[in-house]
Amino acid sequence: MKVICEGLDLSDAVLKVSKALSSRTTNPVLEGIKITAKGDTLTLLATDLDLTIEKKIKADVLMEGETVVVGKYFIDFIKKLENEQVELSRLYDEQLNIKYADSESVLQIFPVENYPLIDKKEEGNKFSLSKKDFKEIVEKTCFACSLDDSRPILKGCLFESKGNMLNVVSLDGFRMAIVKKEVKSENDFSAIIPARALQEMSRLIEKEDGDVIVNLQKNKLFVEIDNTVLISRLIEGEFVKYNHILPNSFENIVTVNKSALLNSIERASVVAKNDRYNIIRFDIKENIMTVSSKSEVGSVTENVNINLNGKDMSIAFNGKYLTDYLRICNDEFINFKLNSSIDPCVISPVEKEDNVYLVLPVRINA
C-alpha cells in the first residue's frame, strides 16, 4: 500500500472514526484504525463492534492495499501534520511508514486479517428527517438517557413512528424527555437507538441543510452523513411504557420566564451542590415562586415572577435535573404542570408542545 493525501483531510477523517475506537477490549486489534487505499480513495474505519464509523477521503493511490494502525498513536501523530502533505506506505515490513516534508516516521501495525469484517448492507426500513430536526432531537433527549450498565434498555432513545409523526423518548428512572417531529417513512417503525450512536451522528452533521436518511435493519442502523458512514447496533428489548408515566391532567400550571428561572436555579445550585441530592425548593404562592436552597455552605432565597393557574403549593427537585433541560430549551416562556409535592412535574414550552420533560420531585418536609 502506498498513498498520498492532504494532512488536513487525513486528520479530519482520523478524528471522526476515532469516536468508534474500543477503549476497553480483550481484542487488541479493535484499538486499531483500518486504512484501505483503493482507486482514488483512502478509507479509514474504526469499530468496537457496537459502533462503527467509516470515512472516505480523496487521495493519490500509488499502490492499493490495506493495513491496521494502532489508533491512539496514529491519532496524536496525524493531528500534528494538518499543514503537510502526507505519504502513507506499508511495503514488505510490518510497519506503517509516514513521510511528510523531508521527514519520515514509523508506527506499529496489526495484522489486517485479524480485523473483523463489517457488514455494510443497506437494505432495511428507511426514514428521513431534516438535519436540523435530527440535531434538536439528539440535544433534547440524549441527556436524559441512563448511564447505568445494569439497565441497558435505558441507555438509548426509543424512536417510534406512526404515520408521519415521530416520537423520540428517553428516560433514566428520575426524568423523561419526549420530542415530537414530522418524519418521512414508508412504514411505521419502533427501534431503540443507543444514545452514544445518536450523539456521534449529530456530531457528523456539519451543515444543517438537507435530510438525514437512517436505515433501520433487524438489529442495527446504517446512516451516511457527508461522506461518513456510521453503523450501530440497536438495543434489543421492550422499552418502558412511557405513556403510562405521563399524568392525564394537572391541578396547577405555573407559567414562568425560562431565563429568569434558570438563572435563579443556577445561583441556588451554588449552595445546593454541596448537598448530595442538590435539592432546590420551590414555594409557589399567587404570582411569586420562591426558589431556595440550604446547605452547610449557606443559603439562597430568590423570588421569581410567575403566572399561577391553580393553588399555592411547595415542591422540591434535584437542581441538576432542571438545569439540564432549561439550558437546552430555546423558548422564552415555559409551563410547569403540577399536581402535588410528590407527583411528577411536566415541563413544556408555552407556544408549541413539541417537546415535553417530566421530572420526579424530591420529598421535603412541609
Backbone angles phi, psi at 188, to 5 degrees: -70, 150
Residue-range domains of the chain with CATH: 2-114 (3.10.150.10), 125-243 (3.10.150.10), 246-359 (3.10.150.10)
For the chain, helix, strand, coil in percent to 5 are: 25, 45, 35
Note the pLDDT tens digit of each residue in 318-366: 999 999 999 999 999 999 999 999 999 999 999 887 899 999 999 887 5
Alpha-carbon span 161 to 191, nearest angstrom:
9
Query: What does the mean pLDDT of the chain come to?
Result: 93
Nearest-CA neighbor of 72 among 28, 18, 17, 35?
18
Among all chains, which residue has been given the C-alpha cell 425560562? 258
Say which DSSP state 366 is in.
-
Residue 329, class by beta-carbon neighbours within 10 Å (0-12 exposed, 13-18 middle, 19+ buried)?
Answer: middle
200 contacts 193 by C-beta, under 8 angstroms: no
41-47/220-225 β-pairing: unpaired
- Prediction pTM value: 0.92
Alpha-carbon span 178 to 189, nearest angstrom:
17
Alpha-carbon span 261 to 256, nearest angstrom:
7
349 contacts 334 by C-beta, under 8 angstroms: yes
Note the pLDDT tens digit of each residue in 40-58: 999 999 999 999 999 999 9
Mark the ranges of the chain whose per-residue pLDDT is less than 70: 122, 366
Note the pLDDT tens digit of each residue in 263-272: 999 999 999 8
**DSSP states along 235-253:** PPSPPP-GGGTS-S--SEE
Give SS3 for 289. Answer: strand
Task: Give the pLDDT score at 238.
Answer: 94
Backbone angles phi, psi at 147, to 5 degrees: -105, 5
H, E, C per residue of 164-181: CEEEEEEECCCEEEEEEE
